[in-house]
Amino acid sequence: MNKRTSSSLITFLILFTFTTLNSCKNEVKEPKQKETTKTVYASEVTPFFDHWKLILGDGSNAGFANNFENKDFFYTTNDGKSDWVVYKAPNAGDTHGTSNNTRTELAQAKKWYPKTADDKLTATLKVMNVSSTGDARVAASYAVVVGQIHSADGHENEPLKIFYKKFPGHTKGSVFWHYEINTAGEDNSGRWDYSSAVWGNDFSVVGTEENTYPEEPKDGIALGEEFSYEIEVKDGIMNLKFTSEGHETKTFTKNLIQSEYTTTADIPEQTQNLFVPIGQDGIERETAYTGEGLFFKLGAYNQTNGKSPDVNKNWCSGAETHGGDIQKQYADGNYAEVWFKTASIKVSDAAVSNDGYFSKND
């Protein structure tokens, strides 16, 4: 090899090496920035949280829940079609007020009086889970309340509770609603509920043994199946409307200012069979809920608990609670979970602050 050829080869190798190194340098990419997922808050899905205070499944009052979430009890999810607000409550834990049951539930920040009311609550929802354990003979087992009217005054009774209940092994559950009497006198221990079926059975249909269940309702609602309710109270009358695709629309009317249960003879047969045997045999004041401030509630008020049925065979479920350990309850299905897609509230000009209720119960 002559000197000219050697010199040219060296020059070529130097240029090739420089070009290759420079090319590799140019191909080095900056590390990708980690993508962040934007939190969708409940107040973006159902933008009405200025009207409510949120009670969580640990008994605490989270207050006005704008731009708020709690991954144990209250958050949003998407089912591939829509955003939903999730309300979740275990069978046992710290409870709010005097209740035996946990709830993740909105309580209206104002109260209104039935005689002058012009107030309305609507919601579209689906129940995703009810407790996997409980005593089938106890009417409240495997049930969750998804909407209420509650009294802020007097005995703090409930003229409306909307239930969903499904027994283990059944595909379809029942939707029904309750009217609780506003007991006459100072002793409220005789109060009772009257249950009306919407789709499926009412509250009184129970199992014959602890783990023996009644027949599955033919016209019931499955877990994950959407349904809607409308609650309107105007001039003392409560009007209810329930709708669900593929099911008959149901409507009901109830007078909240004039009782139909003022004497022992007025106590209906359902109550005679369900409540009277355990000493709940009261009568209602003639004016029912007249003069008491009422307010709406919405969410998941779990009706299943760990108390022994020996205490109360209608309301004490004897369910698994894992000593109140929430995560263990969630792991084996001992909780209630309700998803809301839409909801709205109309508050009358006559409504006033409900702070007195919260100060008594928080």
Residues 284-317: tens digit of each pLDDT: 999 999 999 999 999 999 999 999 999 999 999 9
- Mean pLDDT over each residue of the chain, to the nearest integer: 92
For 70, which DSSP code? B
**pLDDT band per the 50, 70, 90 thresholds, residue 362:** confident
Q: Which pLDDT score, from 0 to 100, does residue 31 have?
A: 60
E strands of 282-332, at which residues?
Answer: 294-302
> Is the separation of the CB atoms in 160 and 178 below 8 Å?
yes
Sign of CA dihedral 265, 270, 271, 272: positive
Q: Which pLDDT score, from 0 to 100, does residue 98 have?
A: 75
Residues 150-208: tens digit of each pLDDT: 999 999 999 999 999 999 999 999 999 999 999 999 999 999 999 999 999 999 999 99
Provide the H-helix boundaries in the chain. Answer: 3-27, 42-45, 269-274, 326-331, 355-361
Distance CA 235, CA 120 (A): 12
Judged against a pLDDT cut of 50, whether residue 330 lies above it is answered with yes
Q: Which pLDDT score, from 0 to 100, does residue 100 have?
A: 84
DSSP annotation string for 80-104: SS-EEEEEEEESSS--STT-SS-EE
Q: Which pLDDT score, from 0 to 100, does residue 29 have?
A: 55
Burial class (CB in 10 A: 0-12, 13-18, 19+), 22: exposed
Residues 99-158: tens digit of each pLDDT: 889 999 999 999 999 999 999 999 999 999 999 999 999 999 999 999 999 999 999 999
Read off the pLDDT of each residue in 326-341 and give the average, rounded to a whole number.
Answer: 98
- For residues 27 and 271, which has the higher predicted lDDT (pLDDT)? 271
> Is the separation of the CB atoms in 220 and 227 below 8 Å?
no
Closest Cα to residue 259, out of 276, 284, 235? 284
Task: Kindly state the tokens that stand for 74.
Answer: 């209250």
Q: Which pLDDT score, from 0 to 100, does residue 34 have?
A: 60
Query: Quick check: helix, strand or coil at residue 342?
Result: strand
Distance CA 58, CA 102 (A): 7
Q: Which pLDDT score, from 0 to 100, does residue 33 have?
A: 59
> Is the separation of the CB atoms in 162 and 202 below 8 Å?
no
For the chain, how far is it from start to end, CA to CA, in angstroms? 97
Judged against a pLDDT cut of 80, whether residue 4 lies above it is answered with no
- With pLDDT > 90 as the criterion, what percentage of the chain qualifies? 87
Contacts of 137 (CB under 8 A, 6+ apart): 206, 207, 208, 209, 210, 309, 313
